[in-house]
Amino acid sequence: MTFGSRLVAAIADRGPFCVGIDPHAALLQAWGYGDDLTGLERFALGAVEAVAPHCSVIKPQAAFYERFGSKGVAVLERVIAEARAAGALVLLDIKRGDIGSTSQAYADAYLDPASPLASDAVTVTPYLGFGSLQPFVDTALKHDAGLFVLAATSNPEGPEVQQAVVEGGRTVSATVLDHLARLNAGADPLGSFGAVVGATLADDRGLDFGFNGPILAPGYGEQGGTTDDIRRIFGAGARNVIPTSSRGVLRLGPDAGAMQAAVRRANDELRELLG
C-alpha cells in the first residue's frame, strides 16, 4: 500500500489526530525527569507506550533526540520501532533539504526500510527549489513512503519567503502546492505527497488545498489552533488535514490515562468536524 492509502486507513480506524513526541527540556522536568539521556528515554518511550496505540500518526521531532548525540538517536530509533509496532504511522519531523547526493543520503537515512531510522513519512523543505527534493520523491515512491513539504507555516518569519511572488504571479506557497498536485495526480484514495500548513494562520493565504494530498497542520490545541480554524483555513480540504499537537498531550504525563483521554477528545472533536 502507498503511504496515502495507509494514512486513509489509519485515520478511518483511529481518527486524524497526530501526537508529536517532542522531549523538550521543560517537559522532561514537568514529568519529574532529568534533562539527560535517562530522562529522554523514560519520557519518550513512556509517551509512545501511552498514546501510539490510540493515534493514527506519531510525529517525533528529531532535533530533541539529536541533542543527546548518538545515544539520543538510538532512543529515536526505538521510538520509531515501538510506535510502528503499536500500529501508528510514524512521521519523522526532520525538515531536511539539500541537493544531489546529499539529498539522496538523507532520503536513504529516513525512508529506506534498511535504515534503523526508516519512517512512514518525513517533513522536508523545498527552499532550495522544489526540484532539489527529487531524490526524496523517488525514494518515497520506491518504498511507498510519504513526504510533507513545508508550504505555509504560521511562524511570523515565514511569509517573507513563502508569500514571495515568482514568475507567473504565483506565490512560493502556491507553487509548492502546484508541484504536490502534479505528484498526487490520479492517486486514489489520497496521494502520498503532503503539505505542512499551520493551523493558526490568520487566513488561507489564497491557497487551493485541493491538491489530493494530506495536510499536516501544526499548532492545533495548546498553540491556539481549533477545529473552527481548520474549517476556516482549509474549507473542503479539511477532510485531508492531520492536526498535530505535542505539548497539549504530553504536559499531562506521565499519567498515561490522561494522555489517552486527551487523544480521544481530540479525535472526537475532529470526527465531528469532518462528519
Averaged pLDDT in 10-residue chunks for the chain of 275 residues = 98 97 96 98 98 98 98 98 98 97 98 98 97 98 98 94 93 97 98 97 92 96 85 93 95 97 95 81
Which residues are catalytically annotated?
95
Query: What is residue 88's predicted lDDT score, i.e. its pLDDT?
Result: 98
Q: What is the pLDDT of residue 273?
A: 83
Question: What are the φ/ψ torsions at residue 114 (nearest 5 degrees)?
Answer: -75, -15
- Closest among 248, 273, 270 to 47, alpha carbons compared: 248
247 secondary structure, DSSP code: H
The pTM for the full model equals: 0.97
CA distances from residue 263 to 57, 118, 196, 247, 258 in whole angstroms, order as listed: 11, 25, 21, 12, 9
Residue 225's pLDDT is what?
A: 85
How much is the pLDDT for 258?
98
DSSP string across 28-87: HHHTT--SSHHHHHHHHHHHHHHHGGG-SEEEEBTHHHHTTTHHHHHHHHHHHHHHHHTT
Give the number of other CB atoms < 10 A from CB of residue 229.
20
